[in-house]
Amino acid sequence: MCSEATRGDLRKVKGSRASALAAMRLRVLGKLGEFCNDASVPTITGREKVIGFRQLEYVIRRPGLFGKEVLPKTAGWVYLTDRRILMLDEGWVPQDGTQHKRYHEVPFEETVAVRHKVADRVFVDLKTAEGELTIACKPYGPAARLFDWLKKERELRVKRADGEMESPYAKERWYRHPPK
């Protein structure tokens, strides 16, 4: 996912399961063969599961009515895994004689909420070390359902952290036979 040189520069988020890769990263270049293959498919680790991917146009901005754009409107592929949102820009960037792919990565721990507005916009609110940000995208077709999983999983993780959700494997629960 990233080289050892960049791994040491990342900040850790408290309580993160994604270990050292738990900070939002914008405008990072990934080398062809290390980060992704020729078909622009990112290399995903064995512990990570891809939930879905869609081609979208997205913009990252500060929250508010006239929020400043941190990342201008960009088209590319958005991959949603069980640990992060990975946004790959269209096209390749030549650097040092090799091809690189520009990408943006948001760990799941930094997402706060998913909001659907007026049936044509989806906003993903983030709380990062740099402040609050919002990913705004205009999905179409099946891409509109891409962030539904994130919204449901976010609610479940909040309930689990608050202790409101019971474990399905608790010993005091019974289903078929009453306790003796």
Contacts 24+ apart (CB under 8 A), 118-123: 122/147
Q: Can you give the residue range of the structural domain that contains 71?
A: 4-162
User: Do the beta carbons of residue 36 and residue 29 sit within 8 Å?
Assistant: no
In whole angstroms, what is the distance from residue 9 CA to residue 18 CA? Answer: 15
170 inside domain: no
Per-residue pLDDT, 45? 76
Per-residue pLDDT, 71? 85
**Could you tell me the pLDDT band of residue 1, with boundaries at 50, 70 and 90?**
very low
Tens of pLDDT, residues 53-97: 888 889 999 987 787 888 889 899 898 888 888 999 998 899 888
- What's the token pair of residue 52? 């879905």
Number of domains in the chain: 1
In whole angstroms, what is the distance from residue 131 CA to residue 126 CA? Answer: 8
178 inside domain: no
Q: Which of 71, 78, 85 is nearest to 56 (CA)?
A: 78
Q: Which of 141, 137, 139, 142 is nearest to 124 (CA)?
A: 137
Give pTM, 2 decimals.
Answer: 0.71
First-to-last CA distance in the chain? 52
173 inside domain: no
175 inside domain: no
Query: Is the model more confident about 11 or about 80?
Result: 80
Contacts 24+ apart (CB under 8 A), 113-118: 113/151, 113/154, 114/147, 114/148, 114/150, 114/151, 114/154, 116/144
172 inside domain: no
- Tell me, what CATH number does 85's domain have? 2.30.29.30
29 inside domain: yes
User: Do the beta carbons of residue 135 and residue 85 sit within 8 Å?
Assistant: yes
Region label for 96, one of left (φ > 0), alpha (ψ between -120 and 50) or beta (otherwise): left
8 inside domain: yes
Tens of pLDDT, residues 101-155: 899 999 988 888 888 876 678 888 888 888 899 888 887 767 767 788 888 888 8
In whole angstroms, what is the distance from residue 29 CA to residue 147 CA? Answer: 25
**Could you tell me the pLDDT band of residue 15, with boundaries at 50, 70 and 90?**
very low
